[in-house]
Amino acid sequence: MTTSHAGRHAGIVTLLLLVLAAALTPTSSSAAAGNWWDPVARPAPDSRTGVTGEPFKGTDSAGRVRGFVDAHNHIMSNEAFGGRLICGKAFSEKGVADALKDCPEHYPDGSLAVFDFITGGGDGRHDPDGWPTFADWPAHDSLTHQQNYYAWIERAWRGGQRVLVNDLVTNGVICSVYFFKDRSCDEMTSIRLQAQLTYRMQDYVDSMYGGPGKGWFRVVTGSAQAREVIEQGKLAVVLGVETSEPFGCKMILDVAQCDREDIDAGLDELYDLGVRSMFLCHKFDNALCGVRFDSGALGTAVNVGQFLSTGTFWRTERCTGPQHDNPIGLASAPEAEKRLPAGVEVPSYDADAQCNVRGLTELGEYAVRGMMKRTMMLEIDHMSVKAAGRVLDLFESASYPGVLSSHSWMDLNWTERVYRLGGFTAQYMNGSEQFVTEAGRTEQLRDAYGVGYGFGTDMNGVGGWPAPRGRDAPNPVTYPYRSVDGGSVLDRQTTGQRTWDLNTDGAAHYGLVPDWIEDIRRVGGQHVVDDLFRGAESYLTTWGATEHHRPAANLASDARATASSAEWSPVTSYAPARAVDGDRGTRWASDWSDDQWLRLDLGAAHRVSRVTLDWERAYGSAYRVDVSTDGTNWRTVWSTTAGDGGLDTAVFPPVEARHVRLQFLRRGTQWGYSVREVEVR
């Protein structure tokens, strides 16, 4: 392909890249002293780790595991997007020279590296040679080259990391418009391959240590297994999924391209592959949920992609609470906008309307409940606040702890709700100064809930990584330095003829993650790193609580229901019993006046502590929950004057009750009160 040919496709690739940018020397062949952490047969030549000393094992005095958590990484994304977007491999049985080489079209001088041209500026030219010179890559600002070579991950493990979430990632739209590819664009096909290769990488590492189960890279499918791995001093690798059309759940002109059977089959398949956490939407609205917008010219470009993918642009509305989606940028993205059909333009948006009108769809709610049924953890990053709020409502109604925010893409106002549920949060791998500042904003909450903190490197995710602060910056990293636990010494990392220094190279690849953590310590203090070192325990606490969650019995199911009134209709029934029939397609509706009530007889006295109302559009802005053992003497256990509809869960100290009465005092709409389902637990 000629350079001029590549130029004709620049508009398509610009859209592709802008969308994706927001996303996504020889060693000895055997161990000298037979230490458990040294391989007995490392390939030669290969990368050095630059670490000496024994990795820590066991637990602390309270029986808690220790170590850092990378909650968001993409080890195998070189297999995504058609296989030619991220160049190089995380490992190769043929050796480092085969793994760390550029894409074919980048040779001899990067003239056809259109991706590099768009993301890096200039003419895009670069030295394509990886091993052994690495003149131009990997680098903190090179978004197209492998950053997760296994030996670099090994250095991070030796430096104190104990949990790594490998998000299997791809995007069918990006794949389809990118003209360099060597495979199909089917998202699930790519996800299957990436999962298989993660297990193959485990086998590859095992082969260096004497056989199955002996290596440090351990794919885990349960929290107890992860604890066991970490106690042995090894790295627990968790499989996640981040993709735009899971299970084929794309949306075209607001019509879902999947159904419940597709969702069930997809969740079952992913679970069988070992996946334990996932995103339900990413970048483009799909049949499951609306997304959190991108801003600036990038937002315009992604919005164009939204149209090309779904046939609709983003639609916004005024937010109803303090949370908001990212403001959609009004800046022009000319190359992306050229891809629109004649006469179609990106709409303008009101500055005070920053929320996506699209929240969690009925199919999305079905998928969320399906994940709960399978005790999987759900990532709310990239969800619109409307979708994320509904997910949190659902989880609160069931006391379900399995919620994650892994790389700074949710509104920080959700943080306490996440912690209150028992969830886990991590921050994107920002530069040390920004990371410290952001960590400080939520430090008091972490202290209050007694939780650790994580980071999400998003490496191989085309997001950009910390630039060098400079050797003359205050408190630079001084080599060699000791790991946080004090047991290992880390020097500059060398691969082939290239040696990296965080101060002058920035976070160029995964082997520099420990150096970045040392930079955080020097910039922000030991307490920030201590929070990160508690991350493994907090992540596994969330995971374990999710696995052991069992829904409490719904005492309201088929309870005897009476009400002050029921709206009349010649075609359907809005009787009180419709609110306890287990069918969210039916509902009880009252007359159109303020003072109304709905009363449930549970049949016998039970200890109750929560009542959930799933409102239809007509909701109550002020109401209370009363309980009674005899149906005559009542007491109020919960009330609100700030109801906003949706899914409300009233939580109160456990109390004995046979009768539950919902006393509605003020309507939130011009209609009456309308409830799909009431649950008492």
Q: What is the pLDDT of residue 503?
A: 98
Residue 25 has pLDDT above 50, yes or no: no
Burial of 342 (0-12, 13-18, 19+ CB in 10 A): exposed
Quick check: 138 and 509 in contact, CB under 8 A?
Answer: yes
Q: What is the pLDDT of residue 10?
A: 44
Burial of 255 (0-12, 13-18, 19+ CB in 10 A): exposed
Range from 36-50, 319-333, 550-564 carrying the lowest mean pLDDT: 319-333
Q: What is the pLDDT of residue 250?
A: 94
**Max Cα-Cα span within the chain:** 86
Quick check: 259 and 181 in contact, CB under 8 A?
Answer: no
Rounded Cα gap, residues 194 and 189, in angstroms? 9
Residue 479 has pLDDT above 60, yes or no: yes
Residue 24 has pLDDT above 70, yes or no: no
Q: What is the DSSP letter of 289?
A: B
Q: What is the DSSP letter of 511?
A: G
Q: Which residue has the tokens 């620049």?
A: 10
Burial of 569 (0-12, 13-18, 19+ CB in 10 A): exposed
Report the DSSP pairing between strands 403-405 and 424-428: parallel
Rounded Cα gap, residues 526 and 434, in angstroms? 16
Q: What is the pLDDT of residue 222?
A: 98
Residue 331 has pLDDT above 60, yes or no: yes
Quick check: 419 and 439 in contact, CB under 8 A?
Answer: no
Mean pLDDT of the chain, nearest integer = 92
Phi, psi of 42 (to 5 degrees): -70, 140
E strand segments, 320-471: 355-356, 377-379, 403-405, 424-428, 454-456
Rounded Cα gap, residues 400 and 388, in angstroms? 14
Residue 7 has pLDDT above 60, yes or no: no
For residues 219-223, give the mean pLDDT: 98
> Any residues with CB less than 8 A from the CB of 150 and at least 6 apart, and which?
90, 91, 201, 204, 205, 217
Residue 664 has pLDDT above 60, yes or no: yes
Give residue-wise pLDDT tens across range 334-360: 877 888 999 999 999 998 899 999 999
Give residue-wise pLDDT tens across range 275-291: 999 999 999 999 999 99
Residue 519 has pLDDT above 60, yes or no: yes
Give residue-wise pLDDT tens across range 582-608: 999 999 999 999 999 999 999 999 999
Residue 300 has pLDDT above 50, yes or no: yes
Q: What is the pLDDT of residue 392?
A: 97
Q: What is the pLDDT of residue 321?
A: 87
For residues 315-320, give the mean pLDDT: 94
Confidence class of residue 122 from pLDDT cuts 50, 70 and 90?
low
> Any residues with CB less than 8 A from the CB of 530 and at least 6 apart, and which?
none
Calculate what percentage of the chain has a pLDDT beyond 90: 84
Residue 231 has pLDDT above 90, yes or no: yes
H, E, C per residue of 409-447: CCCHHHHHHHHHHCCEEEEECCCHHHHHHHHHHCHHHHH
Q: What is the pLDDT of residue 5?
A: 38
How far does Cα 430 stand from its chain's mean position? 16
Rounded Cα gap, residues 78 and 76, in angstroms? 5
> Any residues with CB less than 8 A from the CB of 501 and at least 6 apart, and which?
471, 477, 479, 492
Q: What is the pLDDT of residue 1?
A: 37
Q: Which candidate, 111, 87, 105, places its Cα nearest to that of 4? A: 111
Range from 169-173, 367-371, 473-477, 480-484 carrying the lowest mean pLDDT: 169-173
Rounded Cα gap, residues 167 and 278, in angstroms? 8
Q: What is the DSSP letter of 675?
A: E
Q: Which residue has the tokens 């619109």?
A: 384
> Is the C-alpha dihedral spanning 124, 128, 131, 133 positive or negative?
negative
Give residue-wise pLDDT tens across range 525-555: 999 999 999 999 999 999 999 999 999 999 9
Confidence class of residue 390 from pLDDT cuts 50, 70 and 90?
very high
Q: What is the pLDDT of residue 328?
A: 86
> Any residues with CB less than 8 A from the CB of 632 and at least 6 apart, and which?
none
Phi, psi of 68 (to 5 degrees): -85, 155
Helices 150-158 and 187-208: crossing angle in degrees, nearest 10, is 60
Q: What is the pLDDT of residue 531?
A: 98
Q: What is the pLDDT of residue 336?
A: 78
Phi, psi of 677 (to 5 degrees): -145, 145
Residue 65 has pLDDT above 70, yes or no: yes
Rounded Cα gap, residues 575 and 586, in angstroms? 10
Residue 15 has pLDDT above 90, yes or no: no
> Which amino acid is located at 462 in the chain?
V
Residue 476 has pLDDT above 80, yes or no: yes
Confidence class of residue 118 from pLDDT cuts 50, 70 and 90?
low
